[in-house]
Structure 1
């Protein structure tokens, strides 16, 4: 229905917004993972620089140690010369060189101590960087795990949401179907009420006509002579009898045609001037929708009536009444009809509609419903209920 289109459009917009939000979350997570990866690379680069600096310091420390060792050897040699008391022209020079070597040894020792302290600091920085790098890697692994967990949760939620959306769409379609059925039932009820109103109007008109005829007959009887009255009555009675005989003959022919159409199924039942079919052969319980077999039976009735109607004189104004009857059992709560009366009217209307589709003129048909108020069998038994659930047909004059 048109009223559902805005709701579906709003639902589609909601789904698009959720998809866009999920895409933004994924992009933000990817960006955060990229930033963490970049931070990890920077930390690794800094660690590599610290390790390179430590390597250079170790080389400088080794070089300083070698120089210090050489200076100490030279200092030892010069100390040996001084101890032996060797003197000569170069004694002052040797003493100066000894002092210079001793100063150099002290400087190299200081440099060695400084380099060793720097190396220890770099080692500490390296260990701290490695610890930070390991901690950063653990954090990144944990965050990646959290991202994957959230992504799995998001996918699960998305699947659940899609399932709910599908169920919602199914419920919306079911609601639309039920509304359509309700509108159809309401239209059938309005049609049935209109037909009942027309029938009531026809009955009132017939009563007025009978009243006028009775008045005219009384006036005529008062004025006419007894012999003339007898002749008139005889003529009227003769014409009426002829019409009744013709209608009875065509009714019998119609019933015979109907029995031929439904031969071998033993479905037609007669009652006075009417015949009927059990409701079970046309409808499901509590329903006014003709099933497949019921549609075939009604079409056969339509063909039989069309065949007979072709031979009925034009001055014989006839009509086929279709009357719906039910049993006295209460309808189920889930039934679309509130009373058995409404169900009987809806069934009669359904038969009339299919007869029109089968070629019977609509003006030759009348649909009425009597509910449970005209039973064939008043007993409270299943067999009585089954007999009372019926569709009656009566070929009669208008």
Structure 2
């Protein structure tokens, strides 16, 4: 069979692109390996600038209809701050994007399934339980795959890699992925029974040797993350790991965390190290990459979904503007993505240095940052880049002189 577009990976990026292009009248083959979307911890928080991208793609209403939940305020707790003062200075989250009340939260499996179904309803040939055997890029792109016990070969002018960090399309296209050194461990858990927490408020905080992030999903359910030093590989391993993880949320500087610690785990606890990466470029002859396949930002900022939706919008715009029979020109996408990811990498390094380093020097750094940023809001513009988009702040925010003002010294790996 021949299609206008073959997309390998039916997760959020692949299914979103399939839906948009099928709605535009293109014939799309969407191939997904799994038969059931599982809880993968990541991919449940969309920054305001990412919400804007979902609107531009025509997908926002679909996500809200299946339970997308907006957060409208943010609190930064810290062992160097009085919790009452931290809450009194809560940040309203509706200020970062027009007509967006704040970040949008939605469970990863629901998110994936909704977009996959949307793509199929729009006319894409959407297949599950697919085993991709071979991918050819270049002048005659094709994908060989097994489905329902039979082998098939599909052809198209373009193959899209949307299958995540271990992208087979990226390898087939001869594109190299470059990864940074990990900075800290990170783990996520879904927690039920957190009814005492304000369901519209997200929070982060650091105390002693643990840092947390908390994002309500509505109805007393919350996705929480924790970070700790890279040397403590087994800190939350084993059958008692989830209980120890929740207990780490009990903090004097964040008294409302008691509601989290008293909740019930509703998912496995997955741990991974945090770093950033980038492919040489996100395209090659006959292939283009979106989402993590093209490289990811350190999850400390939680921008995986926002990055993916920007990728999908950029690539779909180019494809829709390309005349039939012509080769799409992805140079503008590559240039914009490279600068976007460069800025977000620096923002993530600043955030990780502030929030995910421990001990007295790190504590003193955070105290100085909180005191000085209250007097000079420009010190917090990396946070604006996270919420409003990296293009929303002056470029000098990502230069070494500003970074040194924020963290007090050049950043080094933990």
The alignment's TM-score, normalised by the length of structure 2, stands at: 0.20
Higher share of residues assigned strand: 2
TM-score by length of structure 1 reads 0.20
Does 1 or 2 have the higher relative contact order (CA < 8 Å, sep 6+)?
2
Is the helix fraction higher in 1 or 2?
1
Greater C-alpha radius of gyration: 1
